[in-house]
Structure 1
Amino acid sequence: MSNIKQTLKFFSSLSITAYPSHEYGGCRAGELPEELSPSEAVYYMDEILAAIEKEKLPSEGDRGLMVYYYEDQALSEKIYSLHPTVEEWNGKLWGVMVVEVYGELIEAETAKLLDFAVGQMSDGWGEGFEQRPIKTNDGEIFVSFWNSEDFFIKPEQELKQGTEQNFNEQTMGGM
């Protein structure tokens, strides 16, 4: 096993629901929560990052969510850490799983890692996170790392290359 650690990022769509507050506090009767677009969600990035930080448990240490991985001992040793976060890219806010790994992951290892990460997003870490309100100047928001209609999780370069190709096709096509 290589002792050179590299960082990988896996991007996913987010689902963010806003409950607006008013001068007098609380929601108005009959007022429905609003689904925020990924570009609107960028505005709340600092509050979301602070909430993610508060969610970290001392028992997780540097390894983050990998302390809960028991399925494959060899893979658990190869993947040093797994940390959820959010990042802005292309004017939109994304869920990101930051992974520190020794050496390279083969396809089967990546599949196991992503299966575990999605489980943490939907049941483990993420289930608690999405139920806790994040206070903002505009009210409260709830952030789900997996509960969007078009959920996906993919490697950073796959996401970014795909968008660049689409962008190039759109700009080149009109010439």
Structure 2
Amino acid sequence: LQMKFYSPLTAEFFPNEPDWEDESYNEYEGCPLDGHDLLQYADAVDEAVKKDIADFNGDLMQYYREDDSVRHKVVSAVPSVEIRGNKLCGCLNVELRESLNEGEQAVLCDYISGQYSDGWGEGFEQRDIRVEDGTLAVHFWQEDGFKVTPSFEKTQEQVQMTQRPKMKLLGEDGNIFAIMSRASRLLKNAGQSDKAKEMCNRVMSCDSYHKALNVISEYVETELTPKTRNKPNRGDAR
């Protein structure tokens, strides 16, 4: 089971060739950017986040010290960025053993707010992100967006739950590429494009039809999928 929390991103941009007549530019604070402005730098920001979290496996829950229901339900919480509508947003990818209730979501959001402001996020915003026309300093924490509990309430409508889509194998003609294509479409329609790409790459490296079917059944629920529904895939845990 996976849950995603989306939050606003902002940044300061320091151009290689400043426009000194631009009133929004400050020599020491750069030009302020919001999530819409950051769309053009989405790949660079995404790469910077992935590189940064690789140093500690990316899981912010390893610093969570409470022995409570949140600790027992949450397998991992990994920050990333995603494009939502016309903005680049912060995205916390949470792997769960079972669903969180509203109170547990609030506790988790409050903890992540602290990580974004004084923990991981504080270090990340001090790392210069080089882009073609300058340098970025990107902020996951926003003063107005994270003051209250739950910390992500301003983007509450963007919280989504994603589970494996269901797909029947019965009656398929044995064409693994047709089966893979169908599963990929289901994943993309469920908002899991990254999973679709990962699945296709793994299928293409399989040396047998049966192995390929088993890989597909890890990403979409088929007759071959184990019925341990609430247990996370071993490869998804961090």
2:95 pairs with 1:96: no
Q: What's the TM-score, normalizing by structure 2?
A: 0.57
Alpha-carbon separation, structure 2, partners of 1:20 and 1:125: 25
Structure 2 stretches of 5 or more lacking a match?
Answer: 161-238
Partner of 1:140: 135
Q: Which structure carries more strand by proportion? A: 1
Query: Among residues 38, 42, 45, which one is paired with 2:35 in the alignment?
Result: 38
Alpha-carbon separation, structure 1, partners of 2:143 and 2:85: 19
- Alpha carbons of structure 1 residues 110 and 46: separation in structure 2 relative to 1, 3 Å: same
Question: What is the CA-CA distance between 1:74 and the residue it aligns to?
Answer: 3.8
Question: What is the CA-CA distance between 1:73 and the residue it aligns to?
Answer: 4.3
Report how many aligned residue pairs link the two structures: 150
Partner of 2:120: 125
Alpha-carbon separation, structure 2, partners of 1:157 and 1:115: 14
Larger RCO, structures 1/2 (Cα 8 Å, 6+ apart): 1
**Letter aligned with residue 140 of structure 2:** F
Partner of 1:86: 81
Alpha-carbon separation, structure 2, partners of 1:114 and 1:157: 11
User: Aligned to 1:38, what secondary structure does the other structure show?
Assistant: coil
- Alpha carbons of structure 1 residues 95 and 139: separation in structure 2 relative to 1, 3 Å: same
Between structure 1 and structure 2, the one with the greater Rg is: 2
Question: What is the CA-CA distance between 1:40 and the residue it aligns to?
Answer: 1.6
Q: How does 1:12-91 map to 2 (within 5 A)?
A: 12-22=7-17, 32=26, 33-58=30-55, 60-61=56-57, 64-91=59-86
Runs of 4+, deviation exceeding 6 Å: none
- Alpha carbons of structure 1 residues 12 and 150: separation in structure 2 relative to 1, 3 Å: same
Sequence identity percentage: 37
> What RMSD, in angstroms, separates the aligned Cα atoms of the two structures?
2.6
